Structure formats: structure tokens, C-alpha cells
Amino acid sequence: MNKGKYSVTLRAMRNGSPGAKIDEYRHDGQCFVEGRPGSEYCLEIRNNSSERVLAVPSVDGLSVMDGEKATNESGGYIIEPYDSIKVKGYRHTLDEVGAFKFTEKGEGYASSKGSSRNAGVISVKFYAEKEDEYKKALDDLKKEIERLRQDNRRNRTIRIPEPYPVPKPYPVPDDWWRPWRPRPWWESPVTWGTHDLICKSSAGENTAGFNSDTLGGPTLRCMAASGPAQSYSAEVQHQSKDVSEFNLETGWGQKVTDRVREIPFTRGHLLTTIDIYYSDRNGLKEMDVPLKKKKNISYPKGFATPPAGWGE
């Protein structure tokens, strides 16, 4: 299912390897898939944006990272720009997972933990990366330098330093043969001044030095704000249908090797949420979910005549 720049797809698992895509059906603005008890599946999550994001998946209301009730503070997977990952199961260690496996209702992982209220719902929340305050201060400083340069070009009243000033050639006067001639003011060389640009914040008075090689300009001073991190303690609420037709859950399948590593990521605002609902074929029919539709054709002028003996 696609939602803006992000997508989630269910794929069948065979011998621990992702296989064919599981068909999706649309009904009442929601996305449904058909599950078959005993079969394993994985989640293919794609990030088609230019920024890396944090994808936080949950199945039947439980976080796939720690098996606890999913919240806005649950862990997730970092996806690089224009990249995708496959979440193959409940995370057991940094090296292995327990594959997602369709089970009958009451036999799944959520039921074993006494929390089957959201059975039949797969949800993935996408979070932006909170802009690092140090990097933000640096970017703001670069913008201020560029603004000063623009002002300098317009009225030449603001002098800002350059890393390696290069003298500009003087215009050649008509009386070039008299080098001792006094030059008018408009032929005077540019005088470079020095300024300290400081990015202030309410965090304190300590400053961190910025190298001129990093900025491509003069040596500057900047301080980064260090406020308290925003809290994301609100509980995730799945918007599942309140009907009994969701008669499947997800349990633990076979052990699958899936190595990961932990790296820092500052969680920012919520970008979007993708929900996928699943049930068996009978449950989908009871919910009037349109299953496999017939293909449409146009202008048939008859059909092909098979050769003798065909189909015998």
C-alpha cells in the first residue's frame, strides 16, 4: 500500500526468504490482504523520500521490536533515502527474528500476551528525523553569511572576510604610462574587514569553534541549543473495524537470520501511518471486500478455435 512517498507491502516467506507479493484489496478506503493459517510473511517497507526516516511497525497492536504494546516511543527501523527494507519477523536478538506466521484467532502472539484487541491489523508509522540543533545552527549561519554577501554586492557597505582574499586587478587607466598618477577612490582596492558572526541560543554561553575549511569561509563561532527532547508517550490507537470477521492473528514462525545494528536517531514528527488489515477469505467475504475481479475485454470478434485434440 502506498501513501505519499512511503509504502508497505506484504510478501510471502518461503524457507526464510521473501517471495511473491500478497494481493491487496481496497474496500471503504482501507487496504485488506488475505491470510492463510500456517503461512509466513514479511513486510517490505519503502522510503521514496530524500530524507532518512524511522519506520515503526506493529502487528496486532504489538511492537515487532520488543513484543510490547505499541506506543509512539516504540523502536523501529531506519530507512535511508530511496531505499527499502524487509522486516521478516519479531525481533529476538540483533542477529535473528521469529518469522511472522498467520495463525487462527486466539493462537497468535497477541493472544498469548492477553492483548488481542487489535488482531488483524498491521500498522507502520513513519517518523522524520529531528533536525540536529548543531547542524541547524550551522545551516542558519551559512544563510546569514550568504545574506551579508548579497548585501555587500548591492551597496558595498558591509565588509565580510574571505578565507583567501585575492586582490582584484585595477582597471587600466588611459595614462597607463604614468604609474605614479594618484588613483581615484573607485579604483582603490577592496579593504577586507573582520567580523565575528555568532548564532545565539538560550542554551547557555558556551560556544563551539567552527573550522573555516568546513564552512568555506572565515572562522566563526556558534552555539547549539540543547533543550529537553520532546515526549512521545501517547499510546498508538489502531483504527481497526469493530467486527468479528478478523479471525486471524500473527504468531511466531521459524527462526530467521536477520542481522541489524543499533545507531542513533533523533525521532521527529510523525509523517504518516499506513494500516493494512488481514483476515482469511471467508472473513473478507463477510466484510464485503471485493476479491479477485474478472479481467475486462473490449470488442471481441470471436475467440480462437483450438486445434484438434486440444484439452483431451
Could you tell me if residue 29 is left (phi over 0), alpha (psi between -120 and 50 degrees) or otherwise beta?
left
| pLDDT digit string, tens, across residues 102-133 | 999 989 999 998 878 889 999 999 999 887 65
Q: Which residues contact 123 (CB under 8 A, 6 or more apart)?
A: 57, 58, 59, 70, 236, 238, 273, 274, 275, 276
For residue 41, which of 298, 305, 278, 294 has the smallest C-alpha distance?
278
Q: How far is CA 175 from CA 52, 172, 179, 228, in A?
A: 63, 8, 8, 68
Give yes or no for a contact between 4 and 272, defined as CB atoms under 8 angstroms apart. Answer: yes
> Rounded distance, CA 274 to CA 298, Å?
36
- Per-residue pLDDT band for 15 (boundaries 50, 70, 90) equals confident
Residues 194-239: tens digit of each pLDDT? 333 333 333 333 333 333 333 333 333 233 223 333 333 333 344 4
SS3 at position 50: coil
Question: Positive or negative CA dihedral for 133, 138, 143, 147?
Answer: positive
Is the pLDDT assigned to residue 252 strictly greater than 80? yes
Mean pLDDT of 173-186: 51
- The residue assigned the cell 510478501 is 11
Cα atoms in the Cβ-side hemisphere of radius 13 Å centred on 280? 14
pLDDT at 142 (0 to 100): 85
Give the Cα-Cα-Cα angle 239, 42, 248 (nearest 5 degrees): 50
